[in-house]
């Protein structure tokens, strides 16, 4: 905050907003929600919606600043990439990448923040005495309407970019739910086989189609509730009558 007062630069104000609102306030809200509600589903969904809302507000408020910063970074990108002539990246490709990042900076920022929230939840679960049930994470049914809104925005040309950004953020939310579903079925096995768990995590991270498939599992779980079906099946099998 002292730096923002001294510098009085829009770029510095952007960094201050990111630190105070998204990281600072977001972390405080998450901890408060977990301690007061002790409901991992509600706390996680509320903080994820908060982060998505902020990333779109950030993109709207600081769009000119982000574009200016991107242009100022061009000489640095060109100087750095000139050290790697084998990459064959020219100025046109750099401009394309910059334009891509500006268009989808809300999705990029939102994805990073949502992932950070989930990883923070895993860390919190290790050091806290509350021991939240990660495997029971389930996004409330009504959030699917936000996904439908994202799809509707994507169809219309004027709002397509906003729709794609929102769709990517929502996909990460359902990726978390899909991860919880997989953990419900295979968690015990991979807890014992740590090497296999590490290999599985690495293979998931580097394979984009696998991530899409897990997100699809999380989305379908909204209607089919795979974990509930599994519990009913186990109860049926154990019932001797």
- List, for residues 81-90, the tens digit of each pLDDT value: 777 777 777 7
Could you report the per-residue pLDDT of 12-48, keeping only the tens digit for each?
A: 777 777 778 877 887 788 778 777 877 777 778 888 8
How does the average pLDDT of the chain come out, rounded?
A: 78
Picking from 98, 132, 166, the residue at the C-terminal end of a domain is 132
**Residues 127 and 150 reside in one and the same domain:** no
What is the reported pTM? 0.78
**Residues 123 and 187 reside in one and the same domain:** no
**Residues 3 and 57 reside in one and the same domain:** yes
Distances (CA, A) of 124 to 79, 115, 129, 133, 184: 41, 14, 9, 12, 19
**Residues 46 and 98 reside in one and the same domain:** yes
Measuring CA to CA, which residue among 51, 215, 41, 229 is closest to residue 142?
Answer: 41
**Residues 147 and 123 reside in one and the same domain:** no
Measuring CA to CA, which residue among 40, 179, 169 is closest to residue 114?
Answer: 169
Could you report the per-residue pLDDT of 112-147, keeping only the tens digit for each?
A: 888 888 887 777 777 766 666 777 888 888 888 888
> In this structure, are residues 108 and 187 in contact, taking their beta carbons and an 8 Å threshold?
no
Q: Which residue stretches of 156-207 are H helix?
A: 160-192, 194-206
Give yes or no for residue 60 having a pLDDT over 80.
Answer: yes
**Residues 119 and 200 reside in one and the same domain:** no
Domain count, the chain: 2
| Full residue range of the structural domain in which residue 175 is found | 141-241
pLDDT at residue number 108: 86
């Amino acid at each position: 905050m002292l730096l923002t007062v001294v510098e009085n630069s829009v770029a510095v104000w952007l960094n201050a907003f990111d630190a105070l609102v998204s990281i600072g306030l977001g972390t405080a809200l998450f901890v408060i929600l977990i301690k007061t509600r002790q409901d991992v589903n509600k706390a996680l969904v509320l903080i994820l919606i908060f982060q998505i809302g902020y990333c779109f507000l950030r993109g709207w408020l600081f769009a000119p600043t982000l574009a200016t910063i991107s242009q100022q970074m061009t000489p640095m990108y060109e100087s750095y990439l000139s050290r790697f002539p084998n990459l064959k990246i020219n100025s046109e490709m750099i401009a394309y990448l910059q334009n891509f990042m500006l268009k989808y900076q809300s999705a990029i920022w939102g994805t990073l923040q949502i992932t950070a929230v989930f990883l923070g939840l895993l860390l919190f679960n290790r050091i806290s005495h509350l021991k939240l049930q990660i495997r029971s994470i389930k996004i409330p049914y009504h959030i699917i309407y936000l996904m439908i809104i994202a799809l509707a925005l994507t169809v219309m040309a004027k709002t397509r970019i906003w729709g794609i950004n929102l769709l990517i953020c929502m996909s990460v939310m359902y990726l978390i739910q899909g991860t919880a579903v997989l953990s419900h079925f295979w968690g015990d096995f991979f807890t014992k086989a740590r090497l296999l768990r590490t290999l599985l995590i690495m293979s998931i991270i580097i394979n984009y189609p696998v991530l899409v498939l897990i997100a699809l599992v999380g989305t379908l779980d909204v209607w089919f509730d795979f974990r509930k079906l599994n519990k009913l099946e186990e109860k049926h099998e154990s019932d001797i009558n």
